[in-house]
Amino acid sequence: GENVEQHPSTLSVQEGDSAVIKCTYSDSASNYFPWYKQELGKGPQLIIDIRSNVGEKKDQRIAVTLNKTAKHFSLHITETQPEDSAVYFCAARGTGTASKLTFGTGTRLQVTL
Amino acid sequence: DGGITQSPKYLFRKEGQNVTLSCEQNLNHDAMYWYRQDPGQGLRLIYYSQIVNDFQKGDIAEGYSVSREKKESFPLTVTSAQKNPTAFYLCASSFDRDQPQHFGDGTRLSIL
């Protein structure tokens, strides 16, 4: 089955700096890659996603890039703010009738003043 | 407001007891999912349902059961056969399996 690895597990940046979180996946047939933000005591919130026919997608300060050849995708947050502090999860979904999301183990992002 | 409602927010189970976690959505989504989240780990799929009256096991279904009698509801029962039930349980839904999943705010289950 699919295996998703996420790095780093923790990341601390100063306010205004950029943050990058990277994920690799094992199933070359995977075609959908969402990113979720989870605040303490809450459920994950979808912040951006990308499909395999696109190499990059941007939404204001957040962008995701996908390299299908290397089987990795990354989340980029620019001009970080304290409210960006949270745990971020990547996920990958394969194809087929039993396709399901496989999640990474999460990155705890801390934005310091 | 449309959304996914999980209840209760906190739940305590005694040894040998079954407990049921509620998940309701008013988004008109066909597909619904249950995940388990443990500290330092990603979300793991317990069960999912793509349509009413149908559901499939996920990666860690042992010790759990579900039903899908209504489109809006997908309750999860944690049975006494689940030996390590302490975790944060998350319900999600999507229009279909190819569309983005949206999550509720979870139920934290602990053992007394």
pLDDT for res A98: 60
Residues in chain A: 113
* Residues of chain A under the 70 pLDDT cut: 96-98
Residue A89 buriedness (CB in 10 A; 0-12 / 13-18 / 19+): buried
Please answer yes or no on whether A49 and B100 come within 8 Å at the CB atom.
yes
Percentage of chain B with pLDDT > 90? 82
- Round the CA-based radius of gyration of chain A to a whole number and report it: 14
CB nearest to A43's CB, from B40, B97, B105: B105
Give chain B positions within 8 Å (CB) of A34: 100-101
pLDDT digits (tens, 9 = 90+) for B12-59: 988 889 999 999 999 999 999 999 999 888 899 999 999 999 999 999
Average pLDDT over residues B87-98: 94
- Would an 8 Å CB–CB cutoff place A49 in contact with chain B? yes
B73 token code pair: 């509801």
- Would an 8 Å CB–CB cutoff place B45 in contact with chain A? yes
Q: How confident is the model at residue B98 (pLDDT cuts 50, 70, 90)?
A: confident
Q: What is the residue-averaged pLDDT of chain B?
A: 94
pLDDT for res B3: 94
Please answer yes or no on whether B102 and A46 come within 8 Å at the CB atom.
yes
CA distance A3 to chain B (A): 11
Please answer yes or no on whether A42 and B45 come within 8 Å at the CB atom.
no
C-alpha span between A35 and B48 (Å, rounded): 20
CA distance A107 to chain B (A): 9
Nearest-5° angle of CA B46, CA A23, CA A107? 75
Please answer yes or no on whether A44 and B97 come within 8 Å at the CB atom.
no
C-alpha span between A57 and A48 (Å, rounded): 8
CB nearest to A89's CB, from B42, B92, B105: B42
C-alpha span between A108 and B94 (Å, rounded): 26
CA distances from B55 to A15, A83, B37, B52 (A): 45, 37, 20, 8
* Bond before B39 cis per omega within 30 degrees: no
pLDDT for res A96: 65
